[in-house]
Amino acid sequence: MIIVSHVTYPPESAKEITKRFLTAPVLPDFLTKRGPYISTSRKEGIHSLTLYEVDNENLAKGIAAVSDSLAIYIGVPGYTYDIQPYFLVEEGLKILGM
C-alpha cells in the first residue's frame, strides 16, 4: 500500500518551502519515500506529489509520520496539502468484503 501526499503553494512561497524542507524531520524506517516530484501550473502554482510505501500494519503510524512531516510548512502563505492512502486492488477488495 502507499500513502500519497499532494502539496500546492504559490511560486512566491517557494523560498520558504525550501528553507523548511531542509529542516524536515527524518521519516521512520518503515516508510519508503519516492519523490517529491514537482510540477507547476498557472492555476495551482507549484504542485508536489510524494509516494510513501508502507506495510498494512504500519498504516496508521505512517499517516501520522507523513502528517508530521508536512505540518512544518503550515503558515507558509498559500500552502495546502492532502494525504491519502491507496490500496492494492486485492487489499481494496478485502475492504469491500469481497
Mean pLDDT of the chain: 91
Instruction: Tell me how far CA of residue 61 lies from CA of 77, 85, 86, in angstroms.
Output: 28, 12, 15
Domains of the chain, earliest start first: 2-95 (3.30.70.100)
CA distance 98 to 22: 44
Cell numbers 529542516: residue: 23
Q: Which helix (H) or strand (E) holds 48?
A: strand 45-53
55-93 per-position pLDDT tens digit:
989 999 999 999 999 999 999 999 999 999 998 876 656
DSSP codes joined into one string, 1-27: -EEEEEEEE-GGGHHHHHHHHTTPPPP
pTM listed for this prediction = 0.86
Under 8 Å between Cβ of 7 and 83? no
